[in-house]
């Protein structure tokens, strides 16, 4: 085979190998096998010196043409392969912007807080404001100022959690806030006081040594028992539904006279009698009464001038009735399977 034919053969082989290269690596090895130090074309170029002077120009020219051609084919093929590789990379790394993002879990208010907020909203709507008092109280505010004598059973060590310090205890109800507010404010007074209360109770489905109450107090000129009943009726309807009725039963509290326990018609059976209301048709939701004249005069109010009513409701009890929770302890166990339902 003449050397020119050989060059032409290299040219053809080169082109084929280059076009057949399916990756940049294969293209590089094709380049090396033709143009590298030990490549086929390089070998021919190296042997030019062995040729006779009259052969050399033609062969040299052809060899150069072949080299240029192969180089140009390589660079064309390289561009193709590079753009194919880029296309594949873009396809592989494509980001699906329609996928929903990762949400961080958002917490929610505890059911007890929700109920307190609901109660608060209702009374704010009736013109009340929110008052607060300490959970660690003195016997004076918790009992004495509330007309509760020293021998009253609620004061016993069996019922009340006392601190080491004499006369200091965990408040057994939110009623001391009544006294604290009246001491600092002249009538008219319209407040509610949500907060914790503590009693020496062993936890069971309906008792907890810590629980929540919302206290209410209205003192003004000419406040009557009818105002108390009307207020509680508005509350019961907003809290439990427009069809609710309210019933007051005579009761006794040292700091109200007269006193009443207040029931709403059963939210399940509407008064017919069912398991929720143990067949009686009514659910007890709070204690209430007309503020005892002794309490009014104790804070410097004139019982001849003003009168008032007060009430205190158990928040857990309302939550349990409204959502049919059957164990008060569920509120304090921080079990999300329970809490997330509300």
Per DSSP, 127 falls in state T
Nearer to ligand PHE, 15 or 174 (CB): 174
CB of 295 to ligand PHE, least distance (A): 10
User: Quick check: helix, strand or coil at residue 124?
Assistant: helix
- The single residue among 128, 253, 282, 301 that binds ligand PHE, judged by CB under 6 A, is 253
195 within 8 A of 113, measured Cβ to Cβ: no
CB of 137 to ligand PHE, least distance (A): 12
CB of 217 to ligand PHE, least distance (A): 8
Stretch that binds ligand PHE, among 97-105, 129-137, 253-261, 269-277 (CB under 6 A): 253-261
Strands 136-138 and 129-130: unpaired
Backbone angles phi and psi of 256, in degrees to 5: -130, 145
Backbone angles phi and psi of 308, in degrees to 5: -165, 170
- The single residue among 170, 312, 316, 321 that binds ligand PHE, judged by CB under 6 A, is 312
Binding mask 263-292 for ligand PHE (x = CB under 6 A): ------------------------xxx---
- The single residue among 160, 208, 231, 256 that binds ligand PHE, judged by CB under 6 A, is 256
Question: How many separate helices (H) and strands (E) can be counted in the chain?
Answer: 11, 9
Q: Cα 163 to chain center, whole Å? A: 35
Residues 162-181 that bind ligand PHE (CB under 6 A): 173, 175
Residues 30-49 that bind ligand PHE (CB under 6 A): none
Nearer to ligand PHE, 17 or 284 (CB): 284
329 Cβ neighbours under 8 A, 6+ residues apart: 203, 205, 208
Stretch that binds ligand PHE, among 57-65, 89-97, 305-313, 326-334 (CB under 6 A): 305-313
Per DSSP, 187 falls in state S
Nearer to ligand PHE, 219 or 310 (CB): 310
216 within 8 A of 128, measured Cβ to Cβ: yes
- The single residue among 181, 267, 306, 310 that binds ligand PHE, judged by CB under 6 A, is 310
Nearer to ligand PHE, 101 or 226 (CB): 226
Q: Which tokens go with 262? A: 């207040």
CA distance 329 to 120: 24
191 within 8 A of 129, measured Cβ to Cβ: yes
Residue ranges binding ligand PHE (CB under 6 A): 173, 175, 253, 256, 259, 287-289, 310-312
């Amino acid at each position: 085979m003449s050397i020119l034919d050989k060059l032409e053969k290299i040219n053809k082989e080169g082109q084929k190998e280059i076009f057949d290269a399916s990756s940049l690596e294969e293209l590089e090895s094709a380049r090396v096998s033709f143009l590298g130090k030990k490549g086929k074309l390089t070998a021919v170029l190296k042997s030019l010196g062995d040729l006779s002077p009259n052969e050399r120009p033609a062969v040299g020219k052809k060899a150069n043409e072949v080299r240029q051609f192969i180089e140009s084919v390589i660079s064309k093929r390289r561009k193709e392969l590079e753009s194919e590789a880029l296309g594949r990379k873009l396809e592989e790394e494509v980001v699906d912007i329609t996928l929903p993002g990762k949400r961080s879990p958002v917490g929610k208010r505890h059911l007890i807080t929700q109920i307190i907020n609901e109660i608060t909203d209702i009374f704010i709507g009736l013109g009340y404001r929110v008052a607060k008092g300490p959970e660690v109280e003195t016997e004076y505010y918790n009992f004495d100022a509330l007309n509760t004598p020293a021998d009253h059973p609620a004061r016993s060590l069996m019922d009340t959690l006392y601190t080491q310090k004499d006369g200091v205890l965990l408040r057994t109800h939110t009623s001391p806030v009544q006294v604290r507010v009246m001491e600092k404010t002249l009538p008219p007074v319209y407040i509610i006081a949500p907060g914790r209360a503590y009693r020496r109770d062993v936890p069971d489905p309906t008792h907890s040594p810590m629980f929540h109450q919302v206290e209410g107090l209205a003192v003004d000129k000419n406040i009557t028992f009818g105002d108390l009943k009307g207020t509680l009726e508005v509350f019961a309807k907003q809290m439990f539904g427009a069809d609710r009725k309210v019933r007051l039963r005579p009761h006794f509290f040292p700091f109200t006279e007269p006193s009443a326990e207040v029931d709403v018609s059963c939210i399940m059976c509407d008064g017919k009698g069912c398991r929720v209301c143990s067949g009686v048709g009514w659910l007890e939701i709070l204690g209430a009464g007309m503020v005892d004249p002794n309490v009014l005069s104790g804070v410097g109010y004139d019982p001849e001038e003003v009168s008032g009513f007060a009430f205190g409701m158990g928040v857990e009890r309302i939550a349990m009735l409204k959502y049919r929770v059957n164990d008060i302890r569920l509120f304090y166990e921080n079990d999300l399977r329970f809490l997330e339902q509300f």
